[in-house]
Amino acid sequence: MLRRFTVSLGLTAVLVAACGKGADTSTPAAACTAYSSAFCDKAKACGAAGVTPSCSTDLQTALDCPHFTCPAGTTFDSGAASQCIDAINGLSCTDAANGLANDSAPAVCARICR
């Protein structure tokens, strides 16, 4: 289940990097790193099987966070990134497992790169 959850959120993150409360949302790369942490924190809090201590680092590597940018022709919105991660943090474990695993991220996440 964690792999499905990770892959789905990872794919979402490729389209939308995110970060949240107190996290650095100043650039897409920083937001990607913060998103990885928030994702793994949610997975751990929800008891997702297979979450390892290196979850965040592994996801940052998979998403190539140091080089993450918005697609050409779009602009990064730091405020939307912060709102996205806040929305992810606010999801119940049921919603996180069902919605996010099916590529149904909170609507604000689609506004991070626009």
* Residue 57 exposure: Cα atoms within 13 Å on the Cβ side: 3
The Cα–Cα gap between 91 and 96 comes to 6
pLDDT 10s digits, 54-90: 999 999 999 999 999 999 999 999 999 999 889 888 9
pLDDT of residue 12: 47
Q: Which residues contact 72 (CB under 8 A, 6 or more apart)?
A: none
The string of pLDDT tens digits covering residues 7-34 is 444 444 443 433 334 788 899 999 999 8
Q: What is the mean pLDDT of residues 95-108?
A: 76
- The alpha carbon of residue 87 and the mean position of all alpha carbons in its chain are separated, in whole angstroms, by 10
- Per the confidence metrics, is the pTM higher than 0.95? no
Helix (H) or strand (E) holding 4: helix 2-15
